[in-house]
């Protein structure tokens, strides 16, 4: 597995996202800040204009000299200053040839939204001036005097100094924002790198090493952290231990399975020979020998069956299937005949009733040999456990599936069998069994895409449900036509 590069690593993404988010926060802060800066700038100019206009009141005959008037206007950066007092008295300072105002801004009652718009328009003019001819506007600003709200001040002034001040403020904000972004990003990066990234790299390295060599990789030693990383470390360490134990057990079982398969192969041949020779004992003149011979033959047959099931279980692995449209009613009849031929421990045949309630002509898409094998295993388990009646019924379900129920009137499963149900060599429902019948039956059903499950088990009997795929309409029609053609010929 390829490791992430510096550019694609979690650390790089974390650093980049931190910088972007801090800059985004600064942008959101910048908009009200620049609007407020513009308002403060204009309020300062209005306050200075108010003070300059009051010089008219102190002058003889309310007239100031042209030289003083020019100095006052230059001090306030204005072309015209009008101070309107409550009694409609006006004090005015004006340059000899004042320019006409290009825009008028009345700040009385101006909301925050309008302040954003006015500040944006000013910055847009500055941006246009950077890429084209510069436009120097003259604006007229009207507001209550910051020094005395009862008086109104009107100032006609150039907008360029205001824009330059806003640009200078923006540059300072940008410099501070970048510095804050870098400092915050570095601090957040170092913190998260120590808390998250490094532990995640450690966990990733442990996973990669464990995948390449589960047995040779050193075990993970979890830390004492109580957060999610600590939980992940402890769970990974526990999972590694569980997987290592399962792999070692699987290896031992594989070795044991190979040995058992070889032993069973030889043992099956020996038992078959012994079974053939035991049949000759039925011709013995000794009555006692003839009496015990059926029990001996039955015991040998069960031993041969045990070897066959063990060999089949260890050899099959993933079952190779050859599904085809199959008449489930006929298949159940054939399985019932084989179940009723099962020998009792004393050598005699079982005395049981096989009731086939599956409707005739019920077609399923299965491997007939494998499904029949599963039905025989379930039926034999029932009659060997003491049942004298086994009933099969079928019910169609959603999505083209069919549920086949096989129920008996036996004594029910023992507690040990329920606890280890479907576990090979552990879930036997009868004395002397090895628990392979149910395991093989479930394996067959799952290979078909269905399942085998226990419905109920008690003193009145046991019922298992087999979920199997059913033929669709087109396949069923073809299968019926083929069957009729075969019968007519």
Tell me how far apart the alpha carbons of residues 58 and 182 are, in angstroms, rounded to a whole number: 55
Residue bearing tokens 């050193």: 218
List phi, psi (to 5°) of 241.
-65, -40
CATH of 320-488, picked from 3.30.565.10, 3.40.50.1820, 3.40.50.620, 3.90.1300.10, is: 3.30.565.10
pTM exceeds 0.85: no
CATH of 242-316, picked from 1.10.600, 1.20.5, 3.40.1180, 1.10.287, is: 1.10.287
The b/e string for 308-326 (b: 16+ C-beta within 10 A; e otherwise) is ebbbebbeeeeeeeebebb
The full set of domain ranges for the chain reads: 10-186, 242-316, 320-488
Closest CA to 431 of 386, 393, 488, 482: 386
Cα Rg, the chain, nearest whole Å: 48
Question: Are 162 and 38 a contacting pair, CB within 8 Å?
Answer: yes
Q: In the prediction, which pLDDT does 54 show?
A: 80
**CA distances, 161 to each of 32, 46, 133, 166, 489 (Å):** 20, 15, 17, 9, 109
Question: Are 321 and 370 a contacting pair, CB within 8 Å?
Answer: yes
Angle formed by the axes of helices 436-447 and 368-384, nearest 10°: 150
Q: In the prediction, which pLDDT does 310 show?
A: 61
Q: In the prediction, which pLDDT does 1 show?
A: 47
Q: Fold identical between 242-316 and 320-488?
A: no
Ordered mean pLDDT values, 10 residues apiece, the chain (489 residues): 61 76 79 88 89 76 76 88 79 85 86 82 75 76 86 90 89 84 80 80 83 78 78 83 82 72 70 70 72 69 64 57 89 90 67 91 88 88 88 83 91 81 62 65 86 90 89 45 36
Q: Is 415 exposed, middle or buried (0-12, 13-18, 19+ CB in 10 A)?
A: exposed
**CA distances, 359 to each of 121, 394, 404, 481 (Å):** 85, 7, 11, 18
Tell me how far apart the alpha carbons of residues 65 and 76 are, in angstroms, rounded to a whole number: 17
The b/e string for 258-282 (b: 16+ C-beta within 10 A; e otherwise) is eebeeebeebbeebeebbeebeeee
Residue bearing tokens 């804050």: 180
Q: In the prediction, which pLDDT does 305 show?
A: 64
**CA distances, 400 to each of 141, 364, 375, 450 (Å):** 82, 10, 21, 12
The encoded tokens of residue 172 equal 């300072």
The encoded tokens of residue 123 equal 């910055």
């Amino acid at each position: 597995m390829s490791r992430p590069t510096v550019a694609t690593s979690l650390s790089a993404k974390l650093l980049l996202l931190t910088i972007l988010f801090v800059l985004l926060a600064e942008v959101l802060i910048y908009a009200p800040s620049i609007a407020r800066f513009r308002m403060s700038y204009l309020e300062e100019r209005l306050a200075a204009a108010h003070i300059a206009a009051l010089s008219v009141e102190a002058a003889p005959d309310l007239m100031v000299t042209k030289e003083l008037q020019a100095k006052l206007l230059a001090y306030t950066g204005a072309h015209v200053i009008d101070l309107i007092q409550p009694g409609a008295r006006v004090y005015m300072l004006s340059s000899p040839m004042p320019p006409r105002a290009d825009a008028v801004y009345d700040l009385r009652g101006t909301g925050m939204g309008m302040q954003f718009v006015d500040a944006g328009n000013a910055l847009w003019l500055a941006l246009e001036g950077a890429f084209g001819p510069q436009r120097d506007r003259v604006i007229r600003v009207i507001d209550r005097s910051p020094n005395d709200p009862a008086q109104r001040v009107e100032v006609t002034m150039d907008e360029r100094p205001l824009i330059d001040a806003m640009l200078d403020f923006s540059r300072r904000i940008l410099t501070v924002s970048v510095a804050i972004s870098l400092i915050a990003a570095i601090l957040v990066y170092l913190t998260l790198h120590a808390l998250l990234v490094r532990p995640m790299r450690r966990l990733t390295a442990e996973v990669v090493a464990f995948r390449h060599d589960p047995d040779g990789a050193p075990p993970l030693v979890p830390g004492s952290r109580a957060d999610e990383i600590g939980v992940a470390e402890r769970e990974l360490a526990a999972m590694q231990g569980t997987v290592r134990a399962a792999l070692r057990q699987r290896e031992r079982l594989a070795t044991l399975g190979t040995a058992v398969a070889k032993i069973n192969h030889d043992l099956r041949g020996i038992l078959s020979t012994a079974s053939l020779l035991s049949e000759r004992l039925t011709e013995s003149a000794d009555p006692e020998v003839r009496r015990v011979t059926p029990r001996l033959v039955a015991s040998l047959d069960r031993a041969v069956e045990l070897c066959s099931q063990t060999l089949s279980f260890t050899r099959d692995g993933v079952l190779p299937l050859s599904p085809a449209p199959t008449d489930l009613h006929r298949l159940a009849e054939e399985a019932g005949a084989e179940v009723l031929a099962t020998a009792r421990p004393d050598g005699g045949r079982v005395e049981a009733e096989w009731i086939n309630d599956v409707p005739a002509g019920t077609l399923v898409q299965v491997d007939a040999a494998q499904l029949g094998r599963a039905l025989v295993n379930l039926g034999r388990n029932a009659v060997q456990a003491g049942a004298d009646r086994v009933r099969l019924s079928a019910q169609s379900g959603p999505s083209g599936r069919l549920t086949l129920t096989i129920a008996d009137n036996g004594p029910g499963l023992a507690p040990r069998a329920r606890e280890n149900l479907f576990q090979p060599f552990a879930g036997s429902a009868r004395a002397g069994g090895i628990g392979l019948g149910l395991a093989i039956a479930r394996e067959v059903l799952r290979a078909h895409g269905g399942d085998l499950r226990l419905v109920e088990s008690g003193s009145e009997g046991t019922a298992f449900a087999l979920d199997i795929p059913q033929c669709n309409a087109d396949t069923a029609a073809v299968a019926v036509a083929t069957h009729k053609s075969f019968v007519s010929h």
